[in-house]
Chain A
């Protein structure tokens, strides 16, 4: 077992453990902070998949942005901070069916994938970010610019909804 294998398991453990806390914790703030570690663990796993750009995006957008928004959202919600979340199962059987089907697909994937070939891929790949930058500004220039327009609309839309009421 080399260092990377150990590190991989460490990250996998962080992700799984934190995800379990998110799901099972009855304290919403605690769940939100556990999500931080889950995101962090996933970022580490992306590094092991040689997806460096995705890893950076995960760190910047999810840990830096989305999580802050989630915690703000928790705090914006009245009286929710110290209240236990109470959930009760509804529609148990359809849920069990769907989960079983999804689990079946995932396990099927796991068995049928030729994991041994993954080694070849990992040695053949180089850093993805420069390649991504090149593609984004040449072949995918239109999606790139449309993305900016979507961000603009999100900006204007959120400003409109959250705008303070003026006394006019």
Chain B
């Protein structure tokens, strides 16, 4: 049973190793000609470091909240997807009701303008 996780462990170790090796290699191999523009965090993006006193907009909270709700929905989808063949049509209808209820919420949030950024 636990043996089936071996690929995942290898994957984790591989991914970590790859990231570390690539990062370090860049440090040793890459040429270094720093300029002020290049040293900024995002060369053509916005300045990420600002005064910490500024408050983040409540928009971020809204997005995070929506994300969590649909994240949990996915968690419920997962066991259904695994045993989909076994459950057949009744399972499909049950899942449809589940998603339909959440779709109502999605529709509400959408119409209320919570998905618009400005």
Contacts and interface: CB of A to CB of B under 8 A. Distances in A.
A61 interface: yes
Contact of A159 (B2, B104, B114): B114
A162 B64 CA distance: 11
Nearest to B71: A65
Contacts of A61: 68, 71-72, 75
A48 to B, nearest CB: 7
Q: By DSSP majority rule, is chain A's interface helix, strand, loop, or mixed?
A: helix
Given A69-B68, A125-B1, A156-B105, A148 B55 contact: no
B59 to A, nearest CB: 8
A137 B80 contact: yes
Contacts, number: 147
Interface residues of A, number: 53
A137 B2 CA distance: 26
Given A7-B9, A60-B75, A156-B108, A162 B65 contact: yes
Contact of A133 (B1, B67, B83, B101): B83
A31 interface: no
Given A152-B102, A162-B114, A145 B94 contact: yes
B109 A155 contact: yes
Contacts of B82: 129-130, 133
Contacts of A151: 69, 72-73, 101-102, 105
Nearest to B57: A76
Interface stretch (B18-26, B27-35, B39-47, B85-93): B85-93
Interface of B: 1-2, 5, 9, 52-53, 55-56, 58, 60-62, 64-69, 71-76, 78-84, 86-87, 90-91, 94-95, 97-99, 101-102, 104-106, 108-109, 112-114
20 contacts: A7-B9, A47-B5, A48-B2, A65-B72, A68-B67, A78-B53, A129-B82, A129-B83, A136-B79, A137-B87, A137-B90, A138-B90, A145-B97, A145-B101, A148-B76, A155-B65, A155-B108, A156-B108, A162-B114, A163-B112
